[in-house]
A = this chain, B = another copy of it.
């Protein structure tokens, strides 16, 4: 009893409709939960059931999914396996993407070793560093290019995604070069605010920010404990 879809799995109006960025983030979480359910042999899941596992509101889950199409059956719920595949298509994790890595220091080489990129279809295609000679040993079987080659290599290989793992000082220049070379998605590890053209999607991973957030909470909590006179 497969769900009938009145619309295509990837609505034409994705481009037109404004989808909250947090909704895309949640889509990934739903995908994980559906995988779990599938492994447990569960065939059908309701928004209430997904809410229990994810901690999100059931109405929010239905709305998030409805941005992209009608995937459920009223009175029944969502077919687990089918919905999971739909989400994988929407998120594009079934596709392969070439990635450029800029910065081959400690962090850069750790990222090359991290298996998560491959698992999501991202494949390191080229590595760039300010001092390519010094870094060559670190990288596995990838040649390390100097920054001068960045534009040429990225254009000729049609690379559209880049990982930035350079020091904060140099990051803006690198990002500008990447955008100019045709990259449209950047995962940035440099701990600094960056500006990019509107057509470039920038995501920041900044452990310092997380740590300071927790530090704030701990001192706030300590102050509160102190006030109550312990």
Q: Answer whether residue A13 sits at the interface, using C-beta atoms and an 8 A cutoff.
A: no
A57 CB to nearest chain B CB (Å): 13
A15 CB to nearest chain B CB (Å): 6
Pair B90/A195 contact, Cβ less than 8 Å: no
Q: Answer whether residue A40 sits at the interface, using C-beta atoms and an 8 A cutoff.
A: no
Q: What 0/1 pattern do residues 197 to 221 of A give for CB contact below 8 A with B?
A: 0000101010111111111111111
Pair B211/A116 contact, Cβ less than 8 Å: yes
A76 CB to nearest chain B CB (Å): 24
Q: Which residue of B lies closest to A28 (CB)?
A: B212
Pair B27/A216 contact, Cβ less than 8 Å: yes
Give complex CA distance A222, B122 in Å. 15
A120 CB to nearest chain B CB (Å): 4
Which residues of chain B are within 8 angstroms of A205 by Cβ–Cβ distance?
A: 205, 207, 210
Q: What 0/1 pattern do residues 61 to 76 of A give for CB contact below 8 A with B?
A: 0000000000000000
Which residues of chain B are within 8 angstroms of A209 by Cβ–Cβ distance?
A: 25, 28-29
Q: Answer whether residue A110 sits at the interface, using C-beta atoms and an 8 A cutoff.
A: yes
Q: Answer whether residue A142 sits at the interface, using C-beta atoms and an 8 A cutoff.
A: no
List the one stretch of A78-86, A92-100, A144-152 in contact with chain B.
A92-100
Q: Answer whether residue A164 sits at the interface, using C-beta atoms and an 8 A cutoff.
A: no
Cβ contacts A to B, 25 pairs, < 8 Å: A10-B223, A14-B220, A15-B224, A21-B213, A24-B213, A27-B212, A28-B208, A28-B209, A29-B193, A32-B191, A53-B193, A55-B193, A90-B219, A91-B215, A92-B220, A95-B222, A120-B208, A184-B218, A185-B214, A185-B217, A185-B218, A187-B210, A201-B217, A203-B210, A205-B205
